[in-house]
Structure 1
Amino acid sequence: MNEEINSEQAEISSEQAQTQNSDESINLDALKSNDKALELESKLAEMTDKFYRANADFENLKKRTEKEKADIASYANEKFARDLLGVLDALQMGASFEPADEFGAKIKEGIELSIAEFIKALAKHGVSEVEVGGEFDPNIHNAVMHVDSDEHESGAIVQVLQKGYKINDRVLRPAMVSIAK
Structure 2
Amino acid sequence: MSDKQEELNNEEVVQNEEVQKESNVEQNESSEMTADEKIAELEAKLKESEDKYFRVHADFENIKKRLEKEKYQAIDYASEKFAKDLLAPIDTLEMALAAEETSKEVPSEELLSKLKEGVELTIKNFYSAFDKHDITIVDTDGEFDPNYHNAVMQVDSADHEDGQIVQVMQKGYKFKDRLLRPAMVSICKK
TM-score scaled by length of structure 1: 0.51
Equivalenced residues, count: 107
CA distance in 1 between counterparts of 2:108 and 2:75 reads 46
Write the mapping of 1:118-133 to structure 2, written as runs, cut at 5 A.
none
Task: State which structure, 1 or 2, has the greater radius of gyration over its C-alpha atoms.
Answer: 2
Match of 2:58 in 1: 56
Using the TM superposition, give the Cα deviation of residue 2 of structure 1 relative to its aligned residue in structure 2, in angstroms: 5.1
Q: Does 1:38 align with 2:72?
A: no
Structure 1 residues 121-156: Cα deviation after superposition (integer angstroms, max 9, x where no partner) = xxxxxxxxxxxxxxxxxxxxxxxxxxxxxxxxxxxx
Structure 1 residues 91-110: Cα deviation after superposition (integer angstroms, max 9, x where no partner) = 11111122759998xx8xxx
Match of 1:174 in 2: none
**SS in structure 2 at match of 1:36:** helix
**SS in structure 1 at match of 2:86:** helix
Write the mapping of 1:101-180 to structure 2, written as runs, cut at 5 A.
none
Write the mapping of 1:10-89 to structure 2, written as runs, cut at 5 A.
10-89=12-91
CA distance in 1 between counterparts of 2:62 and 2:41 reads 32
Partner letter of residue 13 of structure 1?
Q
Using the TM superposition, give the Cα deviation of residue 31 of structure 1 relative to its aligned residue in structure 2, in angstroms: 2.2
Q: CA RMSD in A?
A: 2.9
Using the TM superposition, give the Cα deviation of residue 18 of structure 1 relative to its aligned residue in structure 2, in angstroms: 1.1
Using the TM superposition, give the Cα deviation of residue 81 of structure 1 relative to its aligned residue in structure 2, in angstroms: 0.6
CA distance in 2 between counterparts of 1:6 and 1:82 reads 110
**SS in structure 2 at match of 1:95:** helix
**Which of 82, 92, 95 is residue 93 of structure 1 equivalent to?**
95
Identity of aligned residues (%): 37
CA distance in 1 between counterparts of 2:24 and 2:70 reads 68
CA distance in 1 between counterparts of 2:58 and 2:97 reads 57
CA distance in 2 between counterparts of 1:48 and 1:95 reads 70
Partner letter of residue 53 of structure 1?
R
Match of 1:6 in 2: 8
CA distance in 1 between counterparts of 2:5 and 2:108 reads 148
TM-score scaled by length of structure 2: 0.48
Ranges in structure 1 where 5+ consecutive residues have no aligned partner? 112-181
Using the TM superposition, give the Cα deviation of residue 70 of structure 1 relative to its aligned residue in structure 2, in angstroms: 1.4
